[in-house]
Amino acid sequence: MSGETRELSYSQAIQEALAIAMERDDRVFLMGEDIGVYGGAFQVTGDLVHRFGESRVIDTPISELGGAGVAVGAALLGRRPVFEFQFSDFAALAMEQIVNQAAKIRFMLGGKASVPLVMRFPSGSGTGAAAQHSQSLEAWLAHVPGLKVVQPSTPHDAKGMMLAAIEDPDPVMFYEHKLLYKMKGPVPEGYYTEPLHEARVRRVGEQVTIAASAIMVHKALEAAEQLAADGISAEVIDLRSLRPMDYRTVIDSVCKTTRLVCVYEGTKQLGIGAEVSAAIAESEAFDRLDAPILRLGGADCPLPYNPDLERAAVPQVPDIVAAVRRSVRAEA
């Protein structure tokens, strides 16, 4: 049972979840580059190596493919590894183990084996880390059957979904937007979980639905505040899970509001918003639409290093405000 609620940062919430999981289950251990004494590239693992020892908080060599392979093997043998990539971009080096092994083994062995592992991916732009360290590639992995892909947007969800992910029998890809690490919010003490398959309505509205994930949820909420001052009522849906995706929550919202704006940081083409849009087009919500669906995604370019260009390459609050206004003013 969870206890009292206090304010924690997103990174503190994840660290607390890892500690609770390790205390509750000896099978849980952590792997990753510099996660030990250094505390992780973004200091998420912190002092866990001092609390649990080097046998359970393991610094790995600079080989994402090798580390991912060890994690998959350990999961197959009954352990519950949590493998941290320093940057989500580096998943490209481990796609063989993620896509061809972790995602497939349960199916290829007829359910006689499972791969209960979590892979943590610090992702997204906003830190000036340039093109090879700032991407939002979650749509890649959300395309793969056998994987679960989540993107918590709050400290509360980060803790609860991490605990649920560690207990899940299948591989969970856990995306953590880097700009969220310092964001604080209420987090209950003790153990609790959040479902890995449900969206959340973060703001109730009547005229337009904004479907977003990760950092874009907060930008959408800020945009909704500005729009409210103009008399436009926007409902904000936090997708939270990309695979499996909670289509029902979005469909029900669009049936009510009759408009949809999808906001996501990954490249617009073939991104998360394309999937959400297609789901609406194939549902009963399509006939309720009073305006075309709008997608706001990242620019079709590698992420720039220059801070002004970096901001211009991903949706910002003014872009969301402008898109919603276009949607509300559009004629069916």
Domain membership flag for residue 1: no
Q: Which residues are part of the catalytic machinery?
A: 64, 133
Domain membership flag for residue 310: yes
Cβ-based burial of 61 (10 A; exposed 0-12, middle 13-18, buried ≥19): exposed
Q: Give the domain extent around 264.
A: 200-329
Neighbours of 296 (CB within 10 A): 25
pTM: 0.95
Report residue 92: phi and psi, to 5°: -60, -30
**185 and 208 fall within a common domain:** no
**146 and 228 fall within a common domain:** no
Please tell me the predicted confidence (pLDDT) of residue 245.
97
Tell me the two tokens of residue 274. 């394309």
Mean pLDDT by groups of 10 residues along the chain of 332 residues: 79 98 98 95 96 96 96 97 96 97 96 96 94 95 97 98 98 98 97 97 98 97 97 97 98 98 96 97 97 96 94 97 94 48
Residue 9, SS3 per DSSP: strand
Q: Which residues pair with 174 in a beta bridge?
A: 120, 150
CA distances, 236 to each of 49, 175, 224, 241 (Å): 39, 20, 8, 15
Domain membership flag for residue 2: no
Q: Which residue has the tokens 């209950």?
A: 188
Please tell me the predicted confidence (pLDDT) of residue 4.
77
Please tell me the predicted confidence (pLDDT) of residue 330.
75
What is the number of structural domains in the chain?
Answer: 2
Residues 294 and 292: their CA atoms lie apart, in Å, by: 6
Q: Which of 134, 159, 190 is the last residue of a domain?
A: 190
Please tell me the predicted confidence (pLDDT) of residue 331.
55
CA distances, 127 to each of 164, 177, 293 (Å): 29, 11, 30
**184 and 205 fall within a common domain:** no
Tell me the two tokens of residue 14. 């994840």
Residue 24, SS3 per DSSP: helix
